A and B are shown apart, each in its own frame.
Chain A
Amino acid sequence: MKLMLKQVFGSGKFVIGFVIFLAILLTVVIYPIFVPDAPLKIISRGTFLSPGIYVNLYDSIDSATRYTLITDDAEARRVAGRLSDEDRAKMREWLIGNGVDEAEIDGADTAQLLDLWELNFDPTVRLPGMTNADRNYYIRLTASLEGLLSTEGATIASTNPETGALEQSDIVNQTDYVHVNEVANSRLFILGTDNFGRDVLTELISATGVSLTIGFVAGIVATSIGLVLGLVSGYVGGMVDQVIVFIMNLFTVIPTFVLLILISFSIGQESRGAFTIAVVIGLTSWVWTSRAVRAQVISLRNRDHVNLSKLSGHSIAYILAMDILPYIASYVVMALILQISSGILAEAGLSILGLGPRTTEVPTLGLMLNWAMIYQAHILNKWWAYLPIILVIALISFSMNLMNTGLDQVFNPALRD
């Protein structure tokens, strides 16, 4: 046993796979301790918020401590942020189209450009070739230019409830800064939010956990069925074998995924829990395990050590458990790993087709992908809504396959160097 573990962990492939898998597992376990939010809690009004830090605007203006930073480029950056070179060129184009002398316009001189703009721009004028989209753009631009060059602070005013008049309550100077950590309300969304306005990272980690559980349940169901049928079929032989082989052939001929789709569909959305889906995946994917186990058992059942065990008066159950099972145990473990990984993929596949677990009770990796696809995240370039999920699926599958290849190298004499 100890030697076996030593051998297993001597395999570089297995160790890499194991470390990746362990890292995923640990993240799934540890993350919720630090971020106890419910994974399906809707936290954003608006969908697909991009990854990054969000600082509460209200609180940042209201912040008690203000820092005056005399940064030379602050103004230039503000101007550039609201009036890009592209904007300048567009303004110039409009002004020229509206009859302003081209020579008069100095695109680089912001003050002069703004003056000209204020003087000439009329939102109701539509120049030849100008679309409504352009018009909307110019209107938005004009709105954003207001007070661009003002060197004074922005005035914050509120209505006096008694008089109903607007009263100045504060001035935010252009040199005022707030330290992000001192803003009471700031949130970091490493992976932004999804179509429901949920935190993708929290959801992803929870989904990984659920998907792994689905994989484990599916893998264990599939491997148990496959193992029992394979053992019985291979060892007992005769009629029993023929019946079981017939069932196996039946399941081999019917494409498993199609079967899976049909079963999932007929169960109906209402009763498709994550656990049900896992069991269904398990119930449809045991065939190759049972085939492989059967083949192994057939090659084992006439071995001398089995004969010796028989001669020692052991029962069939004892022989299966003690003389056959240990010999195929490593194989079964490898099959289990592959079944787990394929279970996770099967769930993802089903969910993408909209046949996964009952939606939005728990997140799964497949469901997240499904939602991202329905909401066209891929077309709208909301990469954070699908790429990390694909990556996690790939990583899980990669780590499991690495572990499997590693084990294979340790246990399969034909591959041993």
Chain B
Amino acid sequence: MKSDKVILSGKGVTKIFGFGSNKTVAVDHVDFSFREGEVISIVGESGSGKTTLAKILLGLLKQTEGEIYFDGQLRDIRSHSKKKAYWQNIQAIFQDPFSSYNVFRKIDAVLLDCIRMRGGGRLPYDKKREMMREACSFVNLKFDELTNKYPFELSGGQQQRLMIARIFLLKPKILLADEPTSMIDACSRATILDMLMDLRNEVGMTPIFITHDIGLAYYVSDTVYIMEHGKFVESGSADAVILHPKKQYTQRLLSDVPKLHEEWDLSTV
């Protein structure tokens, strides 16, 4: 599954908001290189800059400094068409499924957008329908029940699955999953994670999880990056970082999480 080919990497990526005394450094000279096929997690508490970094990776925000390389080449998204080309390769799932959809557009429209994005805009409708049906069945949804419905008529879990169906159609090389399960119930969480993993195998993509849940990061990823105040403080394989943290910050983070088999030491507050 994993290969040695670096699909996305960054050097000195920095994002500064505001000017002068109002200046906030959200992402502070981070370096990273994500290899094709590996599952990556970026873990950080709120305000650590992980969501800003995710938006930079997606090309929704422009970094203040530093370079990002995609597929070995300096990323160029300076025009709408170049952005569009980039977004054929990188896609996202957002935290809150309820706010991820335009409430005025039907499910069909959402999925047709994806077919169009993959260059299938001129395909006959039957073919498109077939593709949508396939995508829905991949996430255990029945397209025939969804067609002409609005996303908000679905439950949170179903909406997040629809999001995955979207990715199924788009088949990007990279998927940024920004807290994909934090807004949905524990029981649906497993389903979503399973499907993401299945999808990864199916289309051979590189998922990047952005999360504050260190447990989740441990559970899903090969490589974990721990982020604090805009910097990566520790990174490495999941086992190494989570079970044997070297940095004090990571250790503290882990000790603050309530666990089942380990006493939660409240005296360390």
Other-chain residue from A308, A313, A326 in contact with B84 (beta carbon distance below 8 A): A313
Q: Is A84 an interface residue (CB 8 A)?
A: no
B100 touches A311 (CB 8 A): no
Residue interface mask A209-220, B partner, CB < 8 A = 1 = 000000000000
Residue interface mask A305-327, B partner, CB < 8 A = 1 = 10111111111000000110011
A312 touches B113 (CB 8 A): yes
Using known A-B contacts A311-B58, A315-B80, determine if residue A304 contacts B104 with beta carbons closer than 8 Å. Answer: no
Q: Is A378 an interface residue (CB 8 A)?
A: no
Other-chain residue from B55, B60, B92, B104 in contact with A326 (beta carbon distance below 8 A): B104
Residue interface mask A15-47, B partner, CB < 8 A = 1 = 000000000000000000000000000000000
Residue interface mask B54-70, A partner, CB < 8 A = 1 = 01001010000000000
Using known A-B contacts A304-B94, A304-B95, A304-B96, determine if residue A311 contacts B87 with beta carbons closer than 8 Å. Answer: yes
Residue interface mask B120-164, A partner, CB < 8 A = 1 = 000000000000000000000000000000000000000000000
A322 touches B87 (CB 8 A): no
Residue interface mask A247-281, B partner, CB < 8 A = 1 = 00000000000000000000000000000000000
* Chain A residues closer than 8 Å to B96, beta-carbon distance: 304
* Chain A residues closer than 8 Å to B113, beta-carbon distance: 312-314
Q: Complex formed: what's the CA distance from A304 to B94 in Å? A: 7
Using known A-B contacts A303-B99, A304-B99, determine if residue A311 contacts B91 with beta carbons closer than 8 Å. Answer: yes
Residue of B nearest to A312 (CB): B113
Number of interchain pairs (Cβ within 8 Å)? 51
Using known A-B contacts A304-B94, A304-B95, A322-B105, determine if residue A310 contacts B60 with beta carbons closer than 8 Å. Answer: yes
A320 to B: closest C-beta gap in Å: 12
A322 touches B95 (CB 8 A): no
Using known A-B contacts A312-B117, A315-B80, determine if residue A305 contacts B101 with beta carbons closer than 8 Å. Answer: yes
Using known A-B contacts A312-B114, A315-B80, determine if residue A305 contacts B102 with beta carbons closer than 8 Å. Answer: yes
Q: Complex formed: what's the CA distance from A122 to B67 in Å? A: 115
A406 to B: closest C-beta gap in Å: 21
B117 touches A322 (CB 8 A): no
Residue interface mask B217-257, A partner, CB < 8 A = 1 = 00000000000000000000000000000000000000000
Q: Complex formed: what's the CA distance from A305 to B104 in Å? A: 11
Residue interface mask B88-117, A partner, CB < 8 A = 1 = 000110111001111111000000011011
Q: Complex formed: what's the CA distance from A326 to B84 in Å? A: 24
Using known A-B contacts A311-B58, A313-B84, A313-B87, determine if residue A322 contacts B104 with beta carbons closer than 8 Å. Answer: yes
* Chain A residues closer than 8 Å to B80, beta-carbon distance: 315
Other-chain residue from B91, B92, B100, B114 in contact with A305 (beta carbon distance below 8 A): B100
| Residues of B in contact, count (CB < 8 Å) | 23
A2 to B: closest C-beta gap in Å: 13
* Chain B residues closer than 8 Å to A309, beta-carbon distance: 102
Q: Complex formed: what's the CA distance from A307 to B55 in Å? A: 9
Q: Complex formed: what's the CA distance from A313 to B82 in Å? A: 10
Other-chain residue from A305, A310, A315, A326 in contact with B99 (beta carbon distance below 8 A): A305
Q: Complex formed: what's the CA distance from A314 to B55 in Å? A: 17
Using known A-B contacts A311-B91, A311-B92, determine if residue A322 contacts B102 with beta carbons closer than 8 Å. Answer: yes
B17 to A: closest C-beta gap in Å: 13
B60 to A: closest C-beta gap in Å: 6
A323 touches B94 (CB 8 A): no
B92 touches A313 (CB 8 A): no
* Chain A residues closer than 8 Å to B94, beta-carbon distance: 304, 307-308
Residue interface mask A233-259, B partner, CB < 8 A = 1 = 000000000000000000000000000
B90 to A: closest C-beta gap in Å: 8
B221 to A: closest C-beta gap in Å: 22
| A residues 287-309 touching B (CB-CB < 8 Å) | 303-305, 307-309
A309 to B: closest C-beta gap in Å: 7
Q: Complex formed: what's the CA distance from A315 to B114 in Å? A: 15
* Chain B residues closer than 8 Å to A322, beta-carbon distance: 102, 104-105
A3 to B: closest C-beta gap in Å: 11
- The residues of A with any CB-CB pair to B shorter than 8 Å are 303-305, 307-315, 322-323, 326-327
Q: List 11 A-B contacts (CB under 8 A).
A: A303-B99, A305-B100, A305-B102, A308-B92, A308-B100, A308-B102, A312-B113, A313-B83, A313-B117, A315-B80, A326-B103
Kindly list 5 other residue pairs between chains A and B, CB separation below 8 angstroms, not including A303-B99, A312-B87, A313-B117: A304-B95, A307-B58, A311-B92, A322-B105, A326-B104
Which 7 A-B pairs rank lowest in CB-CB distance, beginning with the nearest? A304-B94, A326-B104, A313-B84, A312-B113, A304-B100, A305-B102, A304-B99
